[in-house]
């Protein structure tokens, strides 16, 4: 199960019998997720242009799920005493899909603050305990992607010949005074401008306290979300592409932008 993803470098972890549940009750889920993720890519221009926020690639991934019938849903759980509602809790999930055997919930955490993992896992735990979902899926940056982001961004800077802050503004980036000072400090320490900028950019936008594999792994190994069955997937560094033709990158950006607008209008 998900062997092609594993061979492509994706990290995969099953918790609380999730493998057996997927294999018996939801075999189409594993197939769909595998097909969607194997077809996904994120041009390096998107990572730089997003400023650390959700890339258009992530938005395209959301659209691919939506096209397969995965929808946003707000679960409302009420406590009723003698026929009267006493209290209620709501749990919004970005992607769910109903099957004959039950409901599967999925969250994508590209680059949020890491407490969002606590929210997702606790939501899954409560919804599973209430019988609302059968399994929860979380997709996030894998360890290889987290570890190699600095090198990837530096490669972009070197290939583009970025040599000063003026070159960044030419890309539509607007570094703050603090960031400019940080670049200068690193350069005084012996770094080239691409090295200084990439180190500062990744530290600011994709730091240790954001959502990535090790933060997720730490929580599930401590039992957060237990006993909800979980499928955890880490996106590899190989999902980031270089040298895409400009027309292809523009088309991908446009597609992601369309999804972003569509998602906003449906909220």
The 10s digit of each residue's pLDDT in 9-40 is 999 999 999 999 999 999 999 999 999 999 99
pLDDT at position 219 is 97
Q: Which domain holds residue 70?
A: 3-160+197-265
In-domain check, residue 81: yes
pLDDT at position 267 is 39
Q: How many structural domains comprise the chain?
A: 1
Mean pLDDT of 6-11: 97
- 182 alpha-carbon distance from chain centroid: 28
**What does the alpha-carbon distance between residue 248 and residue 195 come to, in Å, rounded to a whole number?**
27
Does the model's pTM come out above 0.85? yes
pLDDT at position 266 is 45
Question: Which CATH number belongs to the domain containing residue 260 in this structure?
Answer: 3.40.91.20
**Tokens for 35?**
């097909």
In-domain check, residue 104: yes
Angle between helices 246-265 and 56-67 (to 10 degrees): 60
In-domain check, residue 150: yes
In-domain check, residue 167: no
In-domain check, residue 168: no
In-domain check, residue 173: no
**What does the alpha-carbon distance between residue 203 and residue 51 come to, in Å, rounded to a whole number?**
12
**98-139, pLDDT tens digit by residue?**
999 999 999 999 999 999 999 999 999 999 999 999 999 999
pLDDT at position 169 is 87
In-domain check, residue 34: yes
In-domain check, residue 172: no
State residue 8 phi and psi, 5-degree precision.
Answer: -85, 0
């Amino acid at each position: 199960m998900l062997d092609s993803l594993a061979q492509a470098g994706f990290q995969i972890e099953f918790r609380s019998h999730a493998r057996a549940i997927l294999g018996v009750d939801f075999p189409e889920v594993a197939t769909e997720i595998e097909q969607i993720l194997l077809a996904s890519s994120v041009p390096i221009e998107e990572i730089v242009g997003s400023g650390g926020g959700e890339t258009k690639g992530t938005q395209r991934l959301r659209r691919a799920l939506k096209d397969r019938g995965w929808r946003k849903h707000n679960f409302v759980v009420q406590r009723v005493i003698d026929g009267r509602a006493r209290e209620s809790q709501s749990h919004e999930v970005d992607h769910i899909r109903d099957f004959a055997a039950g409901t599967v919930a999925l969250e994508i955490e590209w680059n949020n603050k890491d407490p969002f993992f606590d929210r997702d896992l606790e939501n899954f735990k409560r919804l599973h305990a209430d019988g609302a979902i059968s399994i929860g899926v979380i997709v996030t940056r894998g360890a290889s992607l987290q570890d190699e982001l600095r090198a990837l961004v530096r490669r972009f800077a070197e290939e583009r010949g970025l040599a000063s802050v003026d070159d960044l503004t030419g890309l539509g980036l607007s570094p703050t005074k603090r960031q400019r000072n940080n670049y200068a400090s690193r350069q005084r320490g012996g770094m080239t401008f691409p090295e200084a900028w990439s180190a500062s950019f990744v530290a600011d936008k994709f730091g240790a306290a954001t959502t990535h594999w090790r933060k997720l792994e730490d929580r599930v190994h401590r039992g957060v979300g237990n006993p909800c069955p979980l499928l955890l997937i880490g996106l590899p560094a190989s999902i980031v592409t270089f040298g895409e033709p400009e027309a292809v990158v523009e088309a991908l950006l446009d597609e992601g932008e369309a999804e972003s607008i569509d998602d906003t209008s449906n909220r």
